[in-house]
Amino acid sequence: MENCLFCSIINGSIPSAKVYEDEKTFAFRDIHPMAKTHVLVVPKTHVSSAADAADVPDDVLAACLRTCAKVAETEGISSSGFRIVSNSGPDACQSVPHLHFHVLGGQKLTESMA
Ligand code: AMP
């Protein structure tokens, strides 16, 4: 989608620190990491947020979760533990309107989720 930051990262017109890519998903390091490991996983097709999940094919949604798990494995945080967060809409402070999953770990995370 034109004028979408993450679509531009996926198509390479804006650089990123890529961690993983497959047919349906793209993963790259968050530019402002909030944990020792902080990777963003996005579907390659443009979807605004998790609120639009009903419009996303099941295989794409499943691929996103599998990529999160794969990233956790390759980052070495799979067994120690990690958190997956997807902010949707203003109350959740979503700042980039392209569905994305934060994969956070590499350290003890706080119990607070809000
Ligand atoms: P959210 O606030 O949940 O929408 O998450 C958007 C995330 O994108 C934030 O954690 C930002 O730090 C991150 N971000 C913004 N621009 C870039 C960029 N060019 N490369 C990597 N991460 C970015």
Q: Is residue 23 part of a domain?
A: yes
Number of domains in the chain: 1
Q: Does residue 94 fall inside a structural domain?
A: yes
Q: What is the largest CA-CA distance in the chain?
A: 39
69 Cα to the center of ligand 1, angstroms: 20
Which ligand 1 atom is nearest residue 28's CA? 21
Give pLDDT, residue 29: 98
Q: Which two tokens stand for residue 108?
A: 């003890």
> For residue 32, is it within any domain?
yes
Rounded alpha-carbon distances, angstroms, from residue 43 to 20, 40, 104: 12, 10, 18
Neighbouring CB atoms inside 10 A of 104's CB total: 22
pLDDT of 7: 98
In the prediction, which pLDDT does 95 show?
A: 98
Tens of pLDDT along the chain (114 residues)?
989 999 999 999 999 999 999 999 999 999 999 999 999 999 999 999 999 999 999 999 999 999 999 999 999 999 999 999 999 999 999 999 999 999 999 999 999 999
What number does the ligand 1 atom closest to the CA of 32 have?
12
Question: Domain containing 62: what range?
Answer: 5-105
Q: What is the pTM of this model?
A: 0.98
Q: Which token pair is 94?
A: 């979503």
In a domain, 114, yes or no: no
Q: Is residue 18 part of a domain?
A: yes
Distances (CA, A) of 109 to 17, 30, 66: 23, 17, 21
Q: Which of 30, 85, 93, 104 to mutate to test the pocket of ligand 1 (most atoms within 8 A of CB)?
A: 30
CA of 30 to the centre of ligand 1 (A): 6
Q: Is residue 16 part of a domain?
A: yes
- What is the pLDDT, as a whole number, of residue 76? 98
**Cα four-point dihedral sign 7, 10, 11, 16:** positive
User: Is residue 111 assigned to a domain?
Assistant: no
**Per-residue confidence (pLDDT) for residue 5, from 0 to 100:** 98
Does a structural domain hold residue 113?
no
pLDDT at 109: 98
Residues in contact with ligand 1 (CB, 6 Å cut-off): 5, 16, 28, 30-32, 40, 87, 93-96
Q: Quote the ligand 1 centre to 31 CA distance (angstroms).
A: 6
We report the CATH number of the domain holding residue 22 as 3.30.428.10
